[in-house]
Amino acid sequence: MASSHTIILFALLQLPFYGVLSRTNATCPGPCQCFSITTMICSDDQMMALPADIPPQVRTLIVVASSVGAVAFREEVHLTKLVLLNNPVNMVSSHAFEQLTGLEELEISGSPLMAIESGAFQTLCKLSTLLLNNNKLKILPPGILDVLQRLQTLQLRGNGLQYLGTKHLHNLHNLQHLDLSFNQLPSATLQLRILSLRGNQVTNLPQGIFTQLKSLEELNLRDNRVSELSAGVFPGSLKKLVLRGNGLVQLPSTAFGDLRYLTHLDLSHNRLSTIPAELLQNLSSLEYFSISANQISELHGTSFQGLLNLKTIHLQANNLSFLEADLFKDQEEMSRLFLSRNRLQSLPYGFFESFGIESLVQLHDNPWHCNCSLLYLREWLEYSSGAVEEVSQILCFSPEPVRGKRLASLGKDQLVCTNSSEAKSRDDATGPTDVEISTSAASKTKHCSLQDINGTLVIKCRLMKCSNLKVETHFHLVDGSTFTHMQTAKWPKHTQCLSGTVTLTV
Ligand SMILES: *[C@@H]1O[C@H](CO)[C@@H](O)[C@H](O)[C@H]1NC(C)=O
Ligand SMILES: *[C@@H]1O[C@H](CO)[C@@H](O)[C@H](O)[C@H]1NC(C)=O
Ligand SMILES: *[C@@H]1O[C@H](CO)[C@@H](O)[C@H](O)[C@H]1NC(C)=O
Ligand SMILES: *[C@@H]1O[C@H](CO)[C@@H](O)[C@H](O)[C@H]1NC(C)=O
Ligand SMILES: *[C@@H]1O[C@H](CO)[C@@H](O)[C@H](O)[C@H]1NC(C)=O
Ligand SMILES: *[C@@H]1O[C@H](CO)[C@@H](O)[C@H](O)[C@H]1NC(C)=O
């Protein structure tokens, strides 16, 4: 009987097999075996009590399938690890561990254990691992875990636990791993609100892993190795979710389902190159969103649609070269936007529409192309000077004449689209080449292009102000005569004033 247990044990404990051959013949008491000087294993169903004469050098004691019913040591032992598997222990008294002040790991599993007296763990202030799996615990005395300030791992799998509250866990400041699976905890009584698994080796989050934690509000998975997320894995009660520093490469659009209470989502320092347009769709409470230090090269124009409470967005240190004008149109509360360290050359007209004067924006370390299209940004910098951090680091990367210059230091007449050719390239039709668009002082806020569409000359102007446009065309005919044509384009009624193009056909 004893030997068959022993064989199972090798597999269970992954002891090297030569352990048997080098078994010490020293002072290993009773039915126990010493597979090394520091490890003692007892497995005998005739054994009624824990061994009395444990050699002083033994640090690990493992008792399996014995008839030991009580945890008691008569004299001080220097164990750092005690494992009791499948023994008929049904109660742990308040004196059980008095002699074991150096214990770091304790496991009592597979026992009919129903009660642990309060104070039982009082001497175990070095304990880092406590495993109480597959027992019959229905309750834990309040405060019993309070002394275990170094505890990192707590497993209570497969008990009949009916209640576990914040009171039980509030002192476990170092707890990184908590396993409460297979209990009878009703949602309302499991009140764990904050769970940190930061800096572990978590690689995947299986479906249902958090389903018991119906009150969980903060989940910190920072610096793990999570590389994918499946839909519906996070409890709907979450308010703060940190996935910073994992290996996320892509996300399914339903990764965050409808976490409608989520206010804080941190996806920074991953390897995402894009996010699905609907990813944040249901996160209507979101206030803080970070996806900095990824490889995002594109953001869908509707990514932040409907997120009316979003105040802070970290997009810095990505690969963005283009942003849509109305990307942030719903963020009327926006107060912080970080766009530094991307590949932006320009920002579209109207981009900062929803920004209050109090907002804070970072734009530096982008390869700005300082042509007439940056007039909008230049004006906005001036208008809301206090809002932009490191204005002096917003430098022109091109074109050549202004390369390396600070955008804010450039006069408005230095932001030019030198030729009609540059302006023309925006439109696909080829235009006449011998047409000049002269820029006068007044037209600095207007950008016009000229196209020849099947012989019809079309002037398209983008206006920075809501005003009617007056166009005067001077024709020089081959016979030397000239005539002038004047036309006024009315600003269309009911058009949103701030983003408009007026087209005139001459
Ligand atoms: C076993 O006992 C013998 C004699 O008592 C001793 O020489 C030997 O070193 C012991 N073996 C071990 C592994 O302690
Ligand atoms: C948003 O919530 C609805 C309703 O719960 C759900 O059907 C939909 O899949 C969710 N959208 C995303 C992107 O998760
Ligand atoms: C950045 O985006 C460009 C395309 O816009 C792509 O060619 C390049 O590989 C991206 N770089 C990284 C590091 O993702
Ligand atoms: C301006 O246009 C002329 C002809 O249309 C071209 O030769 C010249 O290279 C252009 N200059 C710049 C700076 O693009
Ligand atoms: C100014 O430069 C940007 C970035 O290269 C370009 O997209 C835009 O078309 C240019 N503007 C004009 C009016 O040519
Ligand atoms: C230009 O004319 C051709 C042939 O007459 C026609 O097929 C084409 O649609 C016209 N293009 C535009 C932009 O009107």
Q: Give the distance (Å) from ligand 3 centre to CA of residue 424.
A: 27
Mutate to test the pocket of ligand 6, among 430, 453, 454, 505 (most ligand atoms within 8 A of CB): 454
Contact 21, 32 (CB under 8 A): no
Which residue's CA is the nearest one to ligand 1's atom 4?
Answer: 25
When the pLDDT of each residue in the chain is averaged and rounded to a whole number, the result is 80
Q: Give the distance (Å) from ligand 1 centre to CA of residue 24.
A: 7
Q: Give the distance (Å) from ligand 1 centre to CA of residue 42.
A: 21
Tell whether 481 is covered by a domain.
yes
Q: Give the distance (Å) from ligand 3 centre to CA of residue 57.
A: 60
**Best-predicted range by mean pLDDT among 3-12, 24-33, 132-141, 215-224?**
132-141
* Least-confidence region, from 382-386, 432-436, 459-463: 432-436
Residue 171: per-residue pLDDT? 78
Tell whether the model's pLDDT for residue 25 goes beyond 60.
no
Q: Give the distance (Å) from ligand 1 centre to CA of residue 36.
A: 13
Q: How many residues are present in the chain?
A: 506
Contact residues for 495 (Cβ-Cβ < 8 A; gap 6+) = none
**What is the token pair recorded at 115?**
């009660």
Tell whether 62 is covered by a domain.
no
Tell whether 180 is covered by a domain.
no
Q: Give the distance (Å) from ligand 4 centre to CA of residue 374.
A: 20
What's the structural domain count of the chain? 1
Contact 396, 377 (CB under 8 A): no
Mutate to test the pocket of ligand 3, among 249, 297, 318 (most ligand atoms within 8 A of CB): 297
Domain that holds residue 491: 448-505
Per-residue pLDDT tens over the stretch 111-132:
999 999 999 999 999 999 999 9
Residue 430: per-residue pLDDT? 36
Per-residue pLDDT tens over the stretch 265-317:
999 999 999 999 999 999 999 999 999 999 999 999 999 999 999 999 999 99
Residue keyed to tokens 């600095």: 444
489: confidence class by pLDDT, cuts 50, 70, 90: low
Ligand 1 atom closest to 24 (CA): 13
Question: Which listed ligand is nearest to 451 at the C-alpha?
Answer: 6
Residue 240: per-residue pLDDT? 96
The model's pTM: 0.57
Tell whether 497 is covered by a domain.
yes
Q: Give the distance (Å) from ligand 5 centre to CA of residue 378.
A: 14
Tell whether 421 is covered by a domain.
no
Considering only residues 63 and 485, tell me which one the structure prediction assigns the higher pLDDT. Answer: 63
Tell whether 478 is covered by a domain.
yes
**CA distances in angstroms from 427 to 163, 322, 452, listed in the order given:** 68, 18, 11
Contact residues for 434 (Cβ-Cβ < 8 A; gap 6+) = none
Tell whether 334 is covered by a domain.
no
Q: Give the distance (Å) from ligand 1 centre to CA of residue 15.
A: 21
255: confidence class by pLDDT, cuts 50, 70, 90: very high
Mutate to test the pocket of ligand 5, among 369, 414, 460, 463 (most ligand atoms within 8 A of CB): 369
Q: Give the distance (Å) from ligand 6 centre to CA of residue 2.
A: 95
Nearest to 259 by CA among 245, 241, 278, 272: 241
Tell whether 60 is covered by a domain.
no
Per-residue pLDDT tens over the stretch 317-365:
999 999 999 899 899 888 899 999 999 999 998 888 877 767 899 999 9
Q: What's the CA gap between 34 and 212, in Å, rounded?
A: 41
Residue 159: per-residue pLDDT? 92
Q: Give the distance (Å) from ligand 3 centre to CA of residue 419.
A: 30
Ligand 5 atom closest to 422 (CA): 14
Residue 181: per-residue pLDDT? 75
Q: What's the CA gap between 79 and 35, in Å, rounded?
A: 15
Considering only residues 395 and 418, tell me which one the structure prediction assigns the higher pLDDT. Answer: 395
Ligand 5 atom closest to 426 (CA): 9
Which residue's CA is the nearest one to ligand 1's atom 10?
Answer: 25
Tell whether the model's pLDDT for residue 440 goes beyond 60.
no
**What is the token pair recorded at 73?**
């040591």
Average pLDDT in the 153-180 region? 80
Residue 381: per-residue pLDDT? 87
Which residue's CA is the nearest one to ligand 2's atom 8?
Answer: 257
Mutate to test the pocket of ligand 4, among 419, 436, 450 (most ligand atoms within 8 A of CB): 419
Residue 84: per-residue pLDDT? 95
Contact 491, 466 (CB under 8 A): yes
**CA distances in angstroms from 264 to 223, 243, 280, 328, 409, listed in the order given:** 17, 11, 12, 18, 37
Which residue's CA is the nearest one to ligand 4's atom 1?
Answer: 419
Nearest to 172 by CA among 188, 198, 194, 187: 194
What residue type is 180 in one-letter code?
L
Q: What's the CA gap between 487 and 489, in Å, rounded?
A: 7
Contact residues for 82 (Cβ-Cβ < 8 A; gap 6+) = 60, 61, 100, 103, 105, 106, 107
Q: Locate all alpha helices (DSSP H) within 357-495, ordered by sequence.
A: 375-383, 420-424
Ligand 4 atom closest to 419 (CA): 1
Q: Is 425 in the pocket of ligand 4 (CB under 6 A)?
A: no
